[in-house]
Amino acid sequence: MTKDNFDYYTDKEFEWTGILKYYQSPNFIHKKGTIFTIEIKTHKPLDDIDSNMVSSLASFWTWGEDRRIKAFKLKTHQVADTLIFLEFLTIRKSQRYDEIKLFLFDLGSFLELCEYRIEAIKVNEVL
């Protein structure tokens, strides 16, 4: 299993995505077994192809120096109009990195590439 004892990208390297304006760290204790939601509001509705890409990215997202670390399992998702709603179960938690932020950087990069501007991000634990 891939370990997380490597140097990974810093916030500064991802600053261009605009994620840090809306998210810095979880407002809950994030550990293995945590269920959480991510809600993202965009400035315009996602088309069908981009909506499917967001769902696919959320389902199959991995990270790490060899992209073999799977941190989350997507439990449910909905992309409608300007709202992206994702619910995840944390299946592996890094002691060193905030995987939620790393996921948001990748999702933000995709949205930026497709010319969607993020207007809000909410990340909450499901109790």
End-to-end alpha-carbon separation of the chain, Å? 30
pLDDT digits (tens, 9 = 90+) for 8-26: 777 777 778 888 999 989 9
pLDDT digits (tens, 9 = 90+) for 81-116: 999 999 999 999 988 889 999 999 999 999 999 999
Inside any domain, residue 63? yes
- Least Cα distance to 81 among 116, 124, 57, 108 occurs for 116
- In this structure, are residues 98 and 8 in contact, taking their beta carbons and an 8 Å threshold? no
- In this structure, are residues 84 and 40 in contact, taking their beta carbons and an 8 Å threshold? yes
Inside any domain, residue 66? yes
- Least Cα distance to 12 among 79, 101, 113 occurs for 101
* Count of structural domains within the chain: 1
User: Range of 98's domain?
Assistant: 15-125
| pLDDT value for 12 | 79
Inside any domain, residue 89? yes
| pLDDT value for 95 | 87
CATH code of 23's domain: 3.30.70
Inside any domain, residue 78? yes
Average confidence (pLDDT) over 68-86:
95
Helix H or strand E encompassing 101: helix 99-113
Single pTM value for the model = 0.91
